[in-house]
């Protein structure tokens, strides 16, 4: 009898966990994969390949969650790029507010490893908040902002990220930087440097061409770029309400 009761309790517990994970997203949020599974995902804060060097609070899955209007606009961008054998790759989408607080706490903890310094080679991480690279209130938490890059579908797959390797900083030549398995935009994602400004002149013609392709496709479908980050775009008209629900695996 005790075994049967224990088994029943375990089954009920597993069902409760499954139900919690499968809860619908709030207020017109949607998993981007549900709209277009061809758009690639590399949600960097869900792993260790980012400027913090670990998973951020609230990032429990490699999933892009956005407001529906944002997702529909991204689908249009993807369709336009497909004709050029190019795909979008999502690097960050909706960001739980707790993750922004995690970033701020990290920037102020007084510790900085060489791996973390790769992303801000010109100054200390404690300056990131003052200089506006990190904010307590992020537009990502509204579901209106995305970070993304491009993948050349004709190119061979790049090497995997090795967390034990001492890569060069985010402004170094592509072969020396941490691999991102995407086109060479002139800097790594999340690079806090003037070379990461969308219109930077200190990059090669080929790198500028890729930036123009991304910028052109995104702006044609309503997105606005943040001029200091070639990867960051937002869609106007989304209410400025921040959310803090965790990013969980998309229900199958």
pLDDT of residue 182: 98
Cα–Cα distance between 147 and 93 in angstroms, integer?
6
What is the set of active-site residues? 229
| Surface-to-core class of residue 114, CB atoms within 10 Å of its CB (0-12 exposed, 13-18 middle, 19+ buried) | exposed
The CATH code that applies to domain 28-234 is 3.30.1380.10
pLDDT of residue 13: 41
pLDDT of residue 17: 40
**β-strand partners of 30:** 66
Is the pTM of the predicted complex or chain greater than 0.85? Answer: yes
For residue 12, the tally of other CB atoms under 10 A from its CB is 10
Mean pLDDT by 10 residues, the chain (252 residues): 40 40 80 98 97 96 98 98 97 97 93 91 89 87 98 95 94 96 98 97 97 98 97 96 96 86
pLDDT of residue 219: 98
Residues forming the annotated binding site?
A: 140, 147, 232
Q: Which two tokens stand for residue 218?
A: 């995104």
Strands 86-92 and 65-67: unpaired
Cα–Cα distance between 161 and 49 in angstroms, integer?
7
pLDDT of residue 22: 52
Residues forming the annotated binding site for Zn(2+)?
A: 140, 147, 232
For residue 200, the tally of other CB atoms under 10 A from its CB is 18
Quote the strand ranges of 83-144, DSSP E.
Answer: 86-92
pLDDT of residue 23: 66
């Amino acid at each position: 009898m005790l075994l049967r009761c224990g088994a029943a309790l375990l089954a009920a517990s597993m069902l409760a966990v499954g139900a919690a994970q499968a809860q619908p997203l709030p207020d017109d949020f949607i998993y981007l994969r549900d709209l277009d599974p061809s758009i690639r995902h590399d949600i960097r804060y869900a792993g260790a390949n980012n400027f913090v060097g670990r998973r951020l609070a609230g990032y429990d899955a490699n999933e892009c969650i956005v407001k529906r209007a944002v997702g529909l606009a991204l689908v249009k961008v993807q369709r336009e790029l497909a004709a050029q054998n190019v795909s979008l790759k999502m690097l960050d989408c909706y960001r739980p507010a707790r993750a922004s607080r995690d970033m701020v706490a990290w920037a102020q903890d007084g510790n900085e490893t060489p791996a973390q310094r790769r992303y801000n080679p010109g100054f200390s991480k404690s300056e990131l908040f003052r200089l506006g690279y990190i904010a307590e209130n992020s537009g990502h938490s509204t579901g209106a902002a995305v970070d993304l890059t491009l993948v050349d579908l004709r190119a061979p797959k790049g090497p995997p990220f090795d967390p034990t390797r001492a890569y060069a900083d985010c402004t170094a030549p592509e072969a020396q930087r941490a691999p991102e398995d995407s086109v060479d935009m002139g800097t790594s994602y999340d690079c806090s440097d003037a070379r990461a400004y969308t219109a930077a002149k200190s990059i090669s013609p080929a790198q500028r061409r890729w930036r123009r392709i991304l910028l052109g496709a995104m702006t044609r479908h309503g997105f606005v770029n943040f001029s200091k980050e070639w990867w960051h775009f937002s869609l106007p008209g989304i209410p400025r309400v921040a959310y803090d629900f965790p990013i969980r695996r998309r229900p199958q």
